[in-house]
Amino acid sequence: MMISEKRNTKISKFLSLVLRHKPETIHIHLDENGWVDVDELIEKLNNNGAEISFEILEHVVKTNVKKRFAFNEDKSKIRASQGHSMKVDLNYKPISPPEKLYHGTSIRFLDSILKNGIEKRDRQHVHLSSDRQTALKVGQRHGKPTILEIQASKMHEKGCKFYLSENNVWLTEHIPTEYIKEI
């Protein structure tokens, strides 16, 4: 299956929009776990001019570097792995995090973060990475980047829950200031 990188990116970004934030854009409904029927998704995408087949969808999911999407076992349903701005239950089980995790952001948000902690805002969770390089890339998307080191194991010891998404993004509800260190 060959589609251009530009088309692949365009489809991926649109899938992020409809599977994470605005399914109503193409008149689909996500179930309580964020899943939508693949055939219905393809039909609605094509009704909006996408000209997409199952093979193209499968290619976009498989080649997405950030692994933002996942099929169920028989590939009859698809969902975003995390990052939803609407309420969905991804059925992730709490697990113990590593000692340190990292959060990339823009330097312009640093004062607010050091005052209020890291808030999930319009998302279901705060997103963290296990390595600095990924955090840096995330921070660069928002302006001049800064990386924050999170004392995840200490938070966990105090009762904070952590989850690991299908695409290896660490998730938690909120990060209080005492667990944040600018690096």
CATH topology of domain 5-80: Arc Repressor Mutant, subunit A (1.10.10)
pLDDT for position 35: 97
- Domain extents for the chain? 5-80, 101-182
Query: Which option is the CATH number for 101-182: 3.40.50.10420, 1.10.110.30, 3.40.50.2300, 3.20.170.30?
Result: 3.20.170.30
pLDDT digits (tens, 9 = 90+) for 110-163: 999 999 999 998 888 999 999 999 999 999 988 999 999 999 999 999 999 999
CA distance 76 to 58: 11
Q: Cβ-count burial of 92 within 10 angstroms (0-12 exposed, 13-18 middle, 19+ buried)?
A: middle
> Of 130, 126, 120, 127, whose CA–CA distance to 99 is shortest?
130
Asked if 76 and 41 touch (Cβ cutoff 8 Å), the reply is: no
pLDDT for position 86: 87
pLDDT for position 1: 61
CA distance 20 to 69: 10
Report residues of the chain scoring pLDDT below 50.
none
Structure letter (DSSP) for residue 24 = G
Backbone angles phi, psi at 92, to 5 degrees: -80, 140
